[in-house]
Amino acid sequence: MSSNKFKPFVAPEVKMKELTLKSILLGCVAGVIFGAATVYLALKAGLTVSASIPIAVIAITLGRKFFKTTILENNIIQTTGSAGESIAAGVVFTLPGFLFLSANEQGQSSGEAYFDYMTILILAIFGGILGTLMMIPLRRSLIVKEHDTLPYPEGTACGSVLKAGEKGGEFAKTAFLGLGFALVYAMLQKVLHVIAETPTFLTRQTNKIFPSAKVSGEITPEYLGVGYIIGPRIAGVLVAGGVLAWLCLIPLLASLIPAEVIATQLVKLGLLADLNTAGGSGGWDPATRTFSDYSSAIYQAYVKQIGAGAVAAGGFITLLKTIPTIISSFKDSLGSLKEKNESEAVPRTERDISFKVVIIGSVALILLMALLPQLPGDSIWNKLLIGLLVVIFGAFFVTVSSRIVGLIGSSNNPISGMTIATIMGTCLIFIAVGWTGKVFEPMALVVGGMICIAAANAGATSQDLKSGYIVGATPRNQQIALFIGAIVSSLVIGWTVHILDTPTAEMASQGIQHAIGTEKYAAPQATLMATLIKGILSFNLDWQFVLVGVFIAITLELCGVKSLSFAVGAYLPLSTTLPIFIGGAIRGLVEWKQKRSGIQLSAEEEELGKGNLFATGLVAGGAVAGVIVAVLSVNENVAEGLKKVNAEHGLSGLLGSGGYQLLGVLFFATMGYVLYRIGRQKQTSIEKL
């Protein structure tokens, strides 16, 4: 079937409620919830999961049942809400890097002054608007003309969900069950502390055979859910990176490098004041010249930089693989812009926002970036250069992002690679005009951050426009909804980042000023972006460690393994990747059982399987609970109140430290078994609904 004969679910001549106040409000609520959850998940694990399908599932259930919404209103809810998840991902993958740039004369990061609510809000809104703006002229060429060749997997699945909802589909029950299960589990874990948060097995530094090896797992519902959603293959590669880092490199380095040399490296990185001051990463004791936790000290001193090199190389290799797609998509897009867009007698399903808005909006973005005092830059002229670079790189990578997600889906979009390429290109331009040193580092991060946000939002926007094309939505209404969703969700994203960045009382007592960058919120991509900018502009990178990571990534590619997932696993703590792997293993077991039973599922049915929906609920419930607890903990009185209901001390006294951790593992195993049982349940085929 050719695309010019395609008939949407709602015909162009049909008049139906679409861009209504209730659809926008419901979409904004969904965007705020999933945006906050994405911030939490991306800071902790460096991963995100698509929110489009869960929001579509919620829309067809709550919208139709309680608000009597039409299919086109449900599509607006999904479109508005999905902007929150994509913008949150772009923000978290880059902007926390302000905290990790080169130190100024006061010993603070040169970008720390820009890590405030207003700057994050402005960049999030500008990046989100840029991603949507640049997609307006691309819709006809990529979504309409290539309907048969670019599947846009998530967009097609959302279209199927919305159509199934009109036939009475009740997918959301399982997702809400997962949400409730996760909230109860999180209450027991994060508030009452009946469930241990991170059971750990650690060998002693004095162990001559296997010193300072650590196996741990942050046994939370969101990690289990993420693992199930991404599947056994990616989860396995991810945990393999953690095994290399924590059970190979760290024990090896622990047996070779004296404690004082490790401490000296931590001082160089700014993670320890000096050799005569206690504390820092790993708990340095100047009296005994030892660490309380050698594995954490070695991880921060060496392995993180090796992991950063691997992530940078993996992202760049992923981008290089897409060069043929980049060239062809850019040519096609330029060709589509040359075509005359006839505005007379345009059917409802072909009405876009005017291309004039794209031009005016792009110029306005450049001028606003030059004039706003919240953005880095010493003069209007160097801010104008930043604005020009943002629009130029944005036009290019929005096109690339849209084309790539059309082929392989948003979950596989090489956003990190595009951002790395943008940052490297920006830094080289800076060097060419004589802008070197730490003063210009925040400016380079602004360019990279906005392109990351724009590319992420463009990928999500493309999927939304595909859903709209399938169900018969009005593109102009979707584009307006995307602008609204980008602005509203940005209001909460910056606030969530700052709440999570607030150190706990225990962190503050150790002199830690930012929770982001610690093992609690590793922010792997943002740390990497800052590391690259410092290395290129300030020439102070430990290239010997970074290059080890680069060649680890190259080795994996030569073995036929996608290096980016492995590299992220090597960068993150094993406590993050291990529970994700367990979720992936459960998915693998469910799929193996299905194959043995002769069950064949389409791509849409896999996305809407009961296991996937329950896992989505686990992710949303666990992440939202984490944000709520973080918000409550900021208030000292509430934090003290939470300590009074903390059952950890009593249970540890009753069961012993090992028994308490084992109890947590049993709770996690129970949750995994429930996920497996729900994943094995028979589901109704979409066609039968």
pLDDT score, position 686: 47
Q: For residues 624 and 684, which has the higher predicted lDDT (pLDDT)?
A: 624
In tens, the pLDDT along 138-181 reads 888 778 877 777 778 778 777 877 877 765 555 667 877 888 89
Q: What is the mean pLDDT of the chain?
A: 83
* Mean pLDDT of all residues in 275-304: 88
What distance in Å separates the CA atoms of residue 566 and residue 550, rounded to the nearest whole number? 12
The Cα 213–Cα 203 span in angstroms is 5
pLDDT of residue 435: 85
Q: Contact, 420 vs 345, CB < 8 A?
A: no
Q: What is the pLDDT of residue 3?
A: 45
User: Tokens 């993958």 sit at which residue?
Assistant: 93
Q: How far apart are CA 208 and CA 445, in angstroms?
A: 44
Q: What are the tens digits of pLDDT across the range 455-502?
A: 888 888 888 999 899 899 999 999 999 999 999 999 999 899 988 888
The 3-class secondary structure across 119-140, one letter per residue, is HHHHHHHHHHHHHHHHHCCCHH
pLDDT tens-digit profile of 621-661? 887 787 787 777 766 777 778 778 888 888 888 888 889 99
Q: Which tokens is 268 given? A: 């160089």
Output 473 or 562, whichever has higher pLDDT: 473
**Of the given ranges (106-110, 394-398, 532-536, 648-652), which has the lowest mean pLDDT?**
106-110
DSSP string, 318-355: HHHHTHHHHHHHHHHHHHHHHS----TT--GGG-PPPH
Q: How confident is the model at residue 294 (pLDDT cuts 50, 70, 90)?
A: very high
pLDDT digits (tens, 9 = 90+) for 182-210: 889 988 988 888 998 889 888 888 888 88
Q: What is the pLDDT of residue 482?
A: 93
Q: Is the pLDDT of residue 423 over 50?
A: yes
Report which of residues 608 and 8 the model is more confident about.
8
Of the chain, the percentage scoring pLDDT greater than 90 comes to 27
- pTM for this structure? 0.76
Output the CA torsion sign for 381, 387, 389, 395.
negative
pLDDT value at position 687?
A: 47
Reported confidence tier of residue 343, pLDDT bands at 50, 70, 90: very low
Q: How far is CA 331 from CA 327, 328, 334, in A?
A: 6, 5, 5
When pLDDT is averaged across residues 599-617 and rounded to a whole number, the result is 72
Which one-letter amino acid corresponds to residue 476?
Answer: R
Provide the pairing of β-strand 214-216 with 200-202. Answer: antiparallel
Q: What was the pLDDT predicted at 479? A: 94
**pLDDT tens column, 67-90:** 888 999 999 999 998 888 889 888
Query: For the chain, which residues make up each domain, given as ranges?
Result: 21-173+347-510
DSSP state of 32: H
pLDDT band with cut points at 50, 70 and 90 for residue 340? very low
* 32-36, 57-61, 137-141, 607-611 — most confident range: 32-36
Q: Decide if 86 contacts 130 (C-beta within 8 A).
A: no
- Cα dihedral 351, 353, 358, 361 in deg (nearest 10): 180
pLDDT of residue 412: 56
Identify the pLDDT of residue 332: 56
Q: What does the pLDDT look like over 222-244, one tens digit per residue? A: 889 888 887 898 889 889 999 99
pLDDT over threshold 90, residue 399? no
Measured distance CA(135)–CA(123) in Å, rounded: 18
Residue 676 has what pLDDT?
94
